[in-house]
Amino acid sequence: MLKRTLGAAVAALVYTLAPAMADWRDGPAVKALYEKAKAEGVAVVWGPQRGEVEWLAKAVPEAFPGVAVEFVGDNDVVTRAIAEARGGRHQIDMLWNSVTASVPVAQRNLLAAVDWKALDVPDPQTAFNGQMLYANKVLYSVAYDPKKVKAEDLPRTWDGYLDPKFKGKLAASLFLLPRLTGGLALAWGEEKALQFARDLVNTQDALLTRAPRETFVESGERLLAFGEIENTYRRHALEGKIFGVSIPEPVVMVQFGSTVMAKAPHPNAGRLVAAWLATPEGRAARRKHTGSIDYDTTSQEPFAREMHEGKVQVVFDTPENMEQRDAAIRKATPIVAGRAQ
């Protein structure tokens, strides 16, 4: 299990940049796409949280002068995107989301199929018959104020947080906790995972909110932000807000990726950004701008190596198990929101 203070971790990050960038952008297909994207001038990117997509507004123009990014970060981005398309309004070029969350847009046939290999994306990992291009993996974690909590006092496993000493100490997201529960259902089975959610809510008196949990930790209202996306706290570390992060087992890892909308108003800019995110250059830019770690199988990060070598129990969502995860999410959501027992 990984426990560390992210300030030091960010300082220790190392990434390569120049050789990969030159390779990918020099390809004739990419150059042609870039010229078309420049003519369009902007890519409109929607993602599930502001922090997931905000960095693109600065990073994309750096990498591709002449291509701006407008973004929307909202928990309800998928349903809004579906509603917009139904209303005859097509203003989204690219959706950035997890593979499970992207299922509804794929079901409504709103996505474009893209030949990623033709765009020189190295070894593209895809879903939905090529409509989604994987680009990043994120982990669920527990964040804390290192001035108030000692890393060694935290449990190694998720269910360790059901210890009575954590009662009234946890803040969790109404959006993320059901999704964590869905991931745990893949490891524990649905019933145990749902009971875990019930216990967190009813016994541990976790504060469930749509407000950012780090604000409750920062203010001291709660000690621990439970079931958080680890990258969030890496971004905060870049801004000088230092949180501790603990990653309990089983490690719940979620695949994120890009989809380009079938009726994108700026299709070329959308494809350019989507493809770039999956390249070594795009990943390096993500690390630079967000502090995030690459947990891909090729990553040299120690914890990534531990996970991929099987030294740590990992739960990973795939197209094969996403229905099972989705079913658990649907059952967990009303439990977490207090609408079901």
Rule CB under 8 A: say whether 287 interacts with another protein: no
The one segment of 15-23, 149-157, 215-223, 248-256 that binds another protein by CB under 8 A:
215-223
Rule CB under 8 A: say whether 86 interacts with another protein: yes
Measured at the CA of 232, the angle between CA 258 and CA 21, to 5 degrees, comes to: 50
Q: Which two tokens stand for residue 139?
A: 């982990």
Rule CB under 8 A: say whether 49 interacts with another protein: yes
Q: How far is the CB of 256 from another protein (least distance, A)?
A: 16
Q: How far is the CB of 71 from another protein (least distance, A)?
A: 9
Q: Pick the binder of another protein from 50, 117, 150, 192 (CB under 8 A).
A: 50
Report whether 37 contacts 276 (CB < 8 A).
no
Q: Which two tokens stand for residue 331?
A: 């059952």
Q: Which two tokens stand for residue 18?
A: 């120049």
Please state the φ and ψ torsions of residue 329, each to the nearest 5 degrees.
-60, -45
Please state, in angstroms and rounded to a whole number, the distance separating the CA atoms of residues 306 and 295.
Answer: 10
Please state, in angstroms and rounded to a whole number, the distance separating the CA atoms of residues 323 and 37.
Answer: 35
Q: How far is the CB of 333 from another protein (least distance, A)?
A: 3
Q: How far is the CB of 162 from another protein (least distance, A)?
A: 18
Rule CB under 8 A: say whether 108 interacts with another protein: yes
Nearer to another protein, 304 or 336 (CB): 336
x-or-dash pattern for another protein, window 302-341, by CB under 8 A?
A: ------------------------x--xx-xxx--xxxx-
Rule CB under 8 A: say whether 118 interacts with another protein: no
Q: Pick the binder of another protein from 5, 125, 209, 324 (CB under 8 A).
A: 209
Rule CB under 8 A: say whether 184 interacts with another protein: no
Please state, in angstroms and rounded to a whole number, the distance separating the CA atoms of residues 25 and 21.
Answer: 6
Please state, in angstroms and rounded to a whole number, the distance separating the CA atoms of residues 287 and 289.
Answer: 6
Report whether 279 contacts 24 (CB < 8 A).
yes
Q: How far is the CB of 117 from another protein (least distance, A)?
A: 30
The one segment of 97-105, 133-141, 148-156, 244-252 that binds another protein by CB under 8 A:
97-105
Tell me the angle at which helices 322-336 and 190-198 cross, rounded to the nearest 10 degrees: 20
Report whether 75 contacts 241 (CB < 8 A).
no
Nearer to another protein, 236 or 286 (CB): 236
Q: Pick the binder of another protein from 103, 112, 180, 200 (CB under 8 A).
A: 103
The one segment of 30-38, 47-55, 269-277, 279-287 that binds another protein by CB under 8 A:
47-55
Report whether 159 contacts 226 (CB < 8 A).
no
* SS3 state of residue 337: coil
